[in-house]
Structure 1
């Protein structure tokens, strides 16, 4: 892993139909007894003593469209988007992450807000949205690999042969990019490579190779210097990006 001067920050967006700020405070306490409380500007995990920055904002008319776009991967329904549109307040949770443990910790904190009346959740630092039940299910039957589903989009394309992922920085890994391969094959390659990093935690170096199985093409792994999201505060990966390039048979 690269040495970072500053850890990446994960931000979760959770709209809800609370009537006022006091109701938010009360609901958090009532719905998470002995687990979480809202203290000052922090959501505090009482079991780990870890705090998460919590910002309460009033209704945002752009929220429905934002969830529609971020919900494409998970195919959220129009009924769900209608519920999002009824929100009166929006809670933003944020914390330094960049590793598996802290990504799981803020995921649990987000779930505490959902239990307190949140309608849905969007990972701002990936651009991926979930219904309350989907997010909660991924945590109730938790495996580390579930974090890939929660924090990573692996099917971004420029329509010209470039396919790449976004969101691996939330977990402490490089994102991946593939050039000049068929789209669905690229997505499959990026996905399997992403899960491989999370589950096996290999020490990957420039020049290593990867293949999805023994009968599939072999790809050389090198550093990608030009991230598509370079300069984007939410999406740029400070750990870097791996380029997977098919090795020739000669």
Structure 2
């Protein structure tokens, strides 16, 4: 539960810094409507592009599992945001209540074990589409099913709670870094040399599994400044 709670707290802090104190009302500090469901299904569509699903193009290309894992973490940002918003608007409880309820799901017990195997490509795509259906439904949100489907996807993408947590913290720091370096006004450079910043961040984590969030931020700063000087 501790890792779930910490990720929820980090996400709430990021949303507050990005969207303002009242983000759970569904409106940003700039009066833009927030639609977490749309964020989820649009990100899921991008996730499917990690695979060679097109029968007419690049049919022999290997699946990009590294990108899939990063996209899974991106979706997790939005699912947590939707869950926090839902608990706030329906008065179901606070973040610690949400963390407790998530930790009691049967699917959580499955990801709380070491895992590093990938599922069959078509099965992964079907699970991604199930998550899309969860968020495209016009009926009441079934938050528990959405989170359970997501945890199934975590396992199918070769992740577990520990690796999800590690990648989430890395992406959370990268998102903070983006916001601090012009992401909103469009001045931020997302491709560093010939690689996306996501890939650079993941490589830093892979090279130093014990790196602290503050150290990761400093390393990203160093690499980004070197890019801008070249």
**TM-score normalized by the length of structure 1:** 0.29
Structure with bigger gyration radius = 1
Q: Which has the larger share of strand?
A: 1
Q: Which has the larger share of helix?
A: 2
